[in-house]
Amino acid sequence: MRAVIPYKQENAKSRLSPVLSRTEREEFVELMLRDVVCSLREAGVKDIDILATFKYSSLSDLDVNFVIDPADLNESINKYLKKVNQPVLIIMADLPLTRPEKINDIINSEEDVVIVPGKGGGTNILFIKEPAGFSVCYYGMSFRNHCSIAKYLNCSLRIYDSFLLSTDIDEPNDIVEILLHGHGLSFEYVQNKFELESGRARVKLNCLH
Amino acid sequence: MRAVIPYKQENAKSRLSPVLSRTEREEFVELMLRDVVCSLREAGVKDIDILATFKYSSLSDLDVNFVIDPADLNESINKYLKKVNQPVLIIMADLPLTRPEKINDIINSEEDVVIVPGKGGGTNILFIKEPAGFSVCYYGMSFRNHCSIAKYLNCSLRIYDSFLLSTDIDEPNDIVEILLHGHGLSFEYVQNKFELESGRARVKLNCLH
């Protein structure tokens, strides 16, 4: 099997702009990606492809393979799936709460397809045992899209229930979860920039500087 | 073992007021409670206590026991824990995505204490095998509070990772998750009132009427 991580650093995570500058967001997405790669490595995943529009020289220490494609997310992943001839784990780069044991659990599933839903109808991780016939549709309610596609293809399906893996980091409130449940480089980064403010409702994020 | 569900219906869930009127919110919290009770029953939990400031006659069909206490959440639960002489599952009433197999998994844990974190630092479910010496602290970062208390008491601790159980329904966006992953009475209720609107970001909630 191999893992593929779609990645874009330039002006990434615009919905975090109320709390992080463009430069900070670009630093931060790289650290989240590094945490994801680290979890994959610890889970024993050897072949990791970064799907991007160009090769990031800043990641040359990571020992990953770059698949360069200028097409959009769906098109580039679908081209990738047609070519790759082994089980594929498609994992998003903004999942810094990923843990190796969860990855292990997913890639050792009996089912043909495993979907980890993200908050708000997204698909955070998609494991496909026979990717050649599968096509992805990431925009909109991608969780529902991917369930329907698996069903249409008569694939057995596991919906993987995990708070850690469902937490993609898109909005300032998501950073709260890194402070509470995180580890690694992204945890260190946000710990130096934010603190938690608690009241009777959900915890809030405060900027430190 | 027994389960206890703190419950308050009057003007509940004020943060849902942008999308539900007071009457609707009061209907809705009862349906969520009924879904939680149903999951507990299906998991084989026989003794269910509703902790409230008075006995709700509207729930008389549920075959649950009422524990009446005018004190606040922490004080009333701590009094309850002192008296009850068996393992206790404290579960919030706003967890309509709860499933029986998850409850089973939690109450069959080997650890002394199981904590299911909620979004934003809350504690959605707390299972305590020896409740007499334990005290709860639900306000603020209650997830951290309860981890610290378990550690202080030298209890073995399981942090239970579940997207379904971490999803407490507090804000309009949380209703999206019921539409996507829900079932039962609360699902039926919100399906008649809302629809999902999808774009490139997380799915949004639209009122139907």
Domain segments of chain B: what residues?
Answer: 2-165
Asked whether residue A200 carries a pLDDT value surpassing 70, the answer given is no
Contacts with B184 (C-beta within 8 Å, 6 or more apart), sequence order: B31, B34, B35, B38, B96
Q: What is each CA distance from A10 to A14, A30, A53, A169, B114, in whole angstroms?
A: 10, 10, 11, 16, 41
* Contact assignment for B120 to A165 by CB distance below 8 Å: no
* Contact assignment for B203 to A165 by CB distance below 8 Å: no
Q: By the CB < 8 Å criterion, does A115 face chain B?
A: no
Asked whether residue A209 carries a pLDDT value surpassing 90, the answer given is no
Amino acid of residue A8: K
CB A43 within 8 A of CB A106: no
Asked whether residue B200 carries a pLDDT value surpassing 70, the answer given is no
* Contact assignment for B120 to A161 by CB distance below 8 Å: no
In percent, how much of chain A has pLDDT > 70?
Answer: 99
For residue B23, give both structure tokens: 């009457």
CB atoms inside a 10 Å sphere around CB B3? 25
Query: Which pLDDT tens digit goes with each residue over B119-178?
Result: 999 999 999 999 999 999 998 899 999 999 999 999 999 999 999 999 999 999 999 999
Per-residue pLDDT, averaged over B10-23, amounts to 95
For residues B28 and A109, give the distance between their C-alpha atoms in angstroms, rounded to a whole number.
Answer: 36
Q: Which of B74, B99, B106, B119 should we substitute to test contact with A (largest number of A Cβ atoms within 10 Å)?
A: B119
Residues of A in contact with B120 (CB under 8 A): 173, 176-177, 201-203
Name A206's bridge partners: A195
Asked whether residue A98 carries a pLDDT value surpassing 80, the answer given is yes
* DSSP character at residue A67: E
Nearest CA in chain B to A97: B161
The shortest CB-CB distance from B203 to any of A120, A165, A201 is to A120
Q: By the CB < 8 Å criterion, does B180 face chain A?
A: yes
Indicate the burial class of A133 (C-beta count within 10 angstroms; 0-12, 13-18, 19 or more): exposed
Query: Which pLDDT tens digit goes with each residue over B70-95?
Result: 999 999 999 999 999 999 999 999 99
Per-residue pLDDT, averaged over B59-77, amounts to 96
pLDDT at residue B15, rounded to an integer: 95
pLDDT at residue A77, rounded to an integer: 98
**Is it true that domain B2-165 has CATH number 3.40.720.10?**
no
pLDDT at residue A139, rounded to an integer: 85
Per-residue pLDDT, averaged over A98-114, amounts to 98
Q: How far is B93 from chain A (nearest CA, A)?
A: 16
Contacts with A48 (C-beta within 8 Å, 6 or more apart), sequence order: A2, A3, A4, A5, A37, A40, A41, A62, A64, A65
pLDDT at residue A82, rounded to an integer: 96
Look at the domain A2-167 and name its fold: Spore Coat Polysaccharide Biosynthesis Protein SpsA; Chain A (3.90.550)
